[in-house]
Amino acid sequence: MRSHIRKAAAPLVGEIRVPGDKSISHRAVLFAAMADGTSQLNGVLDSADVRSTMAAVEALGAVVEVLAETDHGLDLAVHGWGSDGPIEPVGAIDCGNSGTTVRLLLGVLAGYDVHAVLTGDESLSKRPMSRVATPLASMGARVETSDGGVLPVGVNGGGLVGGDHKLPIASAQVKSALLLAGVRAEGVTRVCEPAPSRDHTERMLPAFGIPVGRVGLCASVSGPLIPASADVGVPADPSSAAFLVGAALIVPGSDVTLPGISLNPTRIGFLRVLARMGARIDITTGPEMCGEPTGDLRVRYTENLTGTTVAADEVPSLIDEVPLLAIVATTVQGSTLFEGVGELRVKESDRLTAIADGINALQGGALATEDTLTITGGRPLTGASLDSLGDHRLAMAFAVAGLVASGETVIDGFEAVDVSYPGFAGDVAQLLLGAS
């Protein structure tokens, strides 16, 4: 699908509740599938990626019942396989475009005496899986990737023994896979990271009856255990909110409120960076949901943002928001440097190259090296033809750029937004109408 975006003729004004958090939604469905009993899940993100996780657990014997489809997401009843364990799937399990689905599912399957093959689309099939497969094999699972450490990957689980894992790169997906394997392993499984990464797994597992030890940058579980069913509410996704935050900051006159956002400290690094740049963002604290702090964001157009340096140790808390931050950085005074962002090269696309190429096509200033990205601010953007490369974050970042670029910006492959934020274009249109 091709999207045509012209420079905003009005500010973005109003209140929008963005969809449920994608990372939390994946985990809620997976943990409920592992549990004894029936779990009630509210506000689960209805997107292509989460639907992949729902289909995967159903292929393994869990029953996922859609109770309601609301503006805030899906309300589900998940009947888990519990102490019976998963059934052996008929044929390969297709994880679509979802790296979270395949990596966390590898950790789940490693703990059970079943055989499964996991596949994905063309993009997912290029992403590295050895970083999960190798430590799972050290626990006793039999995991076989295709040549180059990619999908398809086969796993034969069961008979796991816990142990210590020191990850070379902070990764919530790898950490979570190992902790989920540890739930079914004999003894203690401890995972230590060089820097903080998303901790949704550590926050949510106790709700399902699985204690998690946390000391510094290490998390641990003791097994084997069977999760118990739980009722879980999913807060709004800060990564989806980031695109509306960025648009409101750079479209003159904008004033946007985003309620019920997850304010997990491991997810809001982009807000800390924007505050450092001078952004007008007010946060009102709300109730906790399943161990996650939440709150409302009010974002207003900020005329004199300034450049900054994003250090490597900040990147795990904002890795998905780098494309959006890069677009915002094109409008500021001075340059903005992103350090330690090489991980962007192994996302749904080579995001590091793609965002730099996109900004340069828009007549901005961007330079990517193997591990850094530099944006030169103050160069007015001009509409151009861009390709999302099937990457939802790029599609939305380019759309935000189109709201301030002169002329028309054309984005091919805009349907990629369905992976995480299917209603993105409609929500932007609603906010633009809010000023009229």
CA–CA separation, 121 and 180 (whole Å): 24
Q: Tell how many helices (H) and how many strands (E) occur in the chain.
A: 12, 23
Strand order in the sheet with 231-233: 63-70, 73-79, 38-44, 231-233
CA–CA separation, 210 and 205 (whole Å): 5
E strands of 269-407, at which residues?
A: 280-285, 294-300, 309-310, 335-339, 365-368, 372-376, 385-387
Amino acid at 53: T
CA–CA separation, 79 and 143 (whole Å): 27
Q: How far apart are the first and last CA of the chain?
A: 28
Residue among 320, 387, 418, 427 flagged as catalytic: 320
CB count in 10 Å sphere of residue 152: 17
CA–CA separation, 6 and 173 (whole Å): 37
Check if 320 is active-site: yes
CA–CA separation, 342 and 57 (whole Å): 32
Catalytic positions, please? 320
